[in-house]
Structure 1
Amino acid sequence: MNRPARLVTAALTASAALLLTACGSGGGDDSSSDKIKGADQGGGKASASASASASSDGVKRPEISLPSTFTMNFEGWTNSDSKLQAILDDGKEELRANHAAIIEADADADYVTFYNEGVALETSRKWIKGYVKTDDSLIGTVRVFDSQVRLNSTGLGVLFYCVDEGKASTKNRKTGKEEGTPDGTSPYLQYRTTLEKSSRGVWQTRSVETERGACGQ
């Protein structure tokens, strides 16, 4: 899709012609050194409830729901370790929050702030604003798979995962024009993120890097 990229690190190639290319940058020494091996209108409104619900850990989290016109399928998003599962859960909601904000056309949505911090928050907002500026929403389905998660030596969560954008598109709210991943471009994108547990117990994303074509099917 001809959408603006979130800021991408110098090592990665940013292209405005890519479907949902996401952020890069931000992580300081942690993000650059952490490695995990193997690593109808689209305009429908996403709903992020202003009222939060308490989760099993007692933290009140915003309720985020996506419209029927856009689906995110998370495959194998589980881990037997409860700490690692908590990182997976908040990492999942961060990705859902950012996509919901595009559909809502609201870069300042509270749920984006809830799941992002620092540079990750700045780049998420910039990414979302790119869609708002061109009046584009999202439709279709993305598949999120091959999650790999661990805690590093400094206590940060390190989460890698793959996103298949092949069945998703942007849809312009005014013209109705739809654009998917261009021919010859891999629909697969690998996310490399670091997360830090906040004082209120939320694993907030603090850095994100992406690489297109780094994941297989």
Structure 2
Amino acid sequence: MNHLARLASAAVLTASTVLSLTACGGSGAGRADGRIVGADEGRGGSEGASPSADGAAGRPEITLPHTFQANFEGWANSDPKLQTILNDGKERLRAGYAAIIASDPQDSALKFYSTGATLKSGPAWVRTYKGLTLKGSVRISKPQVHVSNEGFGVLFYCVDEARGYTRNLKTDKVEGTPDGDDPKVQYRTRLDKNAQGVWQTSTMQTDRGGCDR
């Protein structure tokens, strides 16, 4: 089994609010052709350390080793509010990767960017990687972001795991995506803004193969 693929199963939260996110009224960020205004204005890279660490809000700095890269493409938006949601959603994913590599289900950065149900599902996901580490790279692209009529953030994106692997810390065995499995996974997340202005991920659902549907 490809353990990296469990990233798309162990963290799943089946929540009606997430399933209906695309039907929520937005902030005017959508376009008729399905793209998000401003989403193609910049191209995020693979940073070892957090680009959005913010001392004023207490945002932690997250560092990934050179042996595993998370490459973000198109993660820029002309709306500052939507950009903050993109930044915090990005850091939540990076915190999860860092927690797996550190074998720390109680990683403080992962907790910082989580709220509600993900405070439990995040550590549970990390624990499924016990005895493993990550290597290679993943590509995170096609972000879609808006703010619902109720005020929570909605962020969808795609993770391509084709070049991402797990390595067994005892045997050094490396596993990737099994033949026949789609390496692309769509993430559907809801984020809620806390008192410090941080958009914390509260629900998460994943759909393997959903990026191309």
TM over 0.5: yes
For the aligned residues, what is the CA RMSD?
2.4
Q: Indicate conservation of the 8 Å contact 1:195/1:205, yes or no.
A: yes
Deviations 1:69-107 (A, max 9, x none): 000000000000000000000000000000100000000
Q: Secondary structure at the match of 2:99?
A: helix
Higher strand share: 1
2:127 paired with 1:129 = yes
For 1:175, the aligned partner's letter is: T
Match of 1:159 in 2: 155
The answer to whether the 8 A contact 2:3-2:175 is kept is no
Give the distance between the partners of 1:87 and 1:161, measured in 2 at CA.
Answer: 12
CA contact (8 A) 1:187 1:213 kept: yes
Deviations 1:41-87 (A, max 9, x none): xxxxxx989xx9535xx312110010000000000000000000000
Native 8 Å contact 1:70 1:140 kept in 2? yes
Q: Secondary structure at the match of 2:8?
A: coil
1:62 partner SS? coil
Give the C-alpha shift of residue 26 in structure 1: 5.3
Q: Give 1:3 shift.
A: 2.7
Name structure 2 gaps, 5 residues minimum.
24-33, 37-47
The answer as to 2:167 corresponding to 1:171 is: yes
- 1:189 Cα deviation (Å)? 0.2
Of 192, 199, 207, 1:196 maps to 192
Cα distance in 2, alignment partners of residues 168 and 140 from structure 1 = 5
- Alignment-derived partner of residue 31 in structure 1: 18
- In structure 2, the CA distance between the partners of 1:32 and 1:215, relative to structure 1 (3 Å rule), is closer
100, 103, 109: which one aligns with 1:102: 100
Equivalent-residue separation in structure 1 for 2:53 and 2:20 (angstroms): 36
Are the equivalent residues in 1 in contact too, given 2:53–2:60 (CA < 8 A)?
Answer: yes
SS in 1 for 2:105: coil
Rounded to whole Å, the distance in 2 between the matches of 1:204 and 1:26 is: 18
Identical residues among aligned pairs (%): 47
CA displacement, residues 8-35 of structure 1 (integer Å, 9 cap, x when unaligned): xxxxxxxxxx3532422154x4222111
- 2: distance between equivalents of 1:70 and 1:169? 9
| 1:63 counterpart SS class | coil
